[in-house]
């Protein structure tokens, strides 16, 4: 039986963060020196989520950061994240974050504005 230590997926998790979810399963398996099929099994066993879900989470976390910190349109952000259309990004983002990208941006803009010591910008 093959066994990976509990920290063996850390390079993959770091690469997902660094590359904003743009990492293939084969590239991830190479990072930890195992086959892709073994990687799928070990990754899920150690992280309790599939690699696909982890990749999506990293991509959407980057999208959330772009919504908070840039003036890029939602269409531009969805394109940067690899979505072929804005609607798919919006549905996926809402499923993971509970808010549409538009509402998420508005809520976080208010939070940032308040953090600077200003009142509500509305």
List Cβ neighbours of 42 (8 Å cut-off, separation of 6 or more): 2, 4, 8, 9, 32, 34
The residue-averaged pLDDT of 26-43 equals: 95
Above pLDDT 90, what percent of the chain? 81
> Which of these ranges, 53-57, 104-108, 116-120, has the smallest mean pLDDT?
116-120
pLDDT tens-digit readout, 49-96: 999 999 999 999 999 999 999 999 999 999 999 999 999 999 999 999
Four-way CATH pick for 56-122: 1.20.140.10, 3.90.230.10, 3.40.630.30, 1.10.10.60: 1.10.10.60
Of 119 and 40, the structure prediction assigns the larger pLDDT to 40
- Please give the mean pLDDT across all residues of the chain: 88
């Amino acid at each position: 039986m093959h066994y990976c230590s509990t920290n063996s997926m850390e390079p993959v998790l770091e690469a997902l963060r660094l590359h904003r979810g743009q990492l293939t399963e084969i590239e991830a398996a190479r990072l930890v020196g195992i086959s892709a099929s073994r990687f799928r099994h070990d990754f899920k066993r150690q992280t309790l989520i599939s690699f696909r879900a982890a990749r999506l989470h990293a991509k959407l976390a980057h999208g959330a950061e772009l919504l908070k910190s840039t003036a890029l349109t939602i269409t531009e952000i969805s394109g940067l994240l690899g979505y072929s259309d804005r609607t798919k990004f919006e549905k996926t983002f809402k499923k993971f974050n509970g808010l549409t990208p538009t509402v998420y941006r508005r809520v976080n803009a208010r939070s940032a504005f308040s953090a600077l010591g200003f009142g509500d910008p509305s």
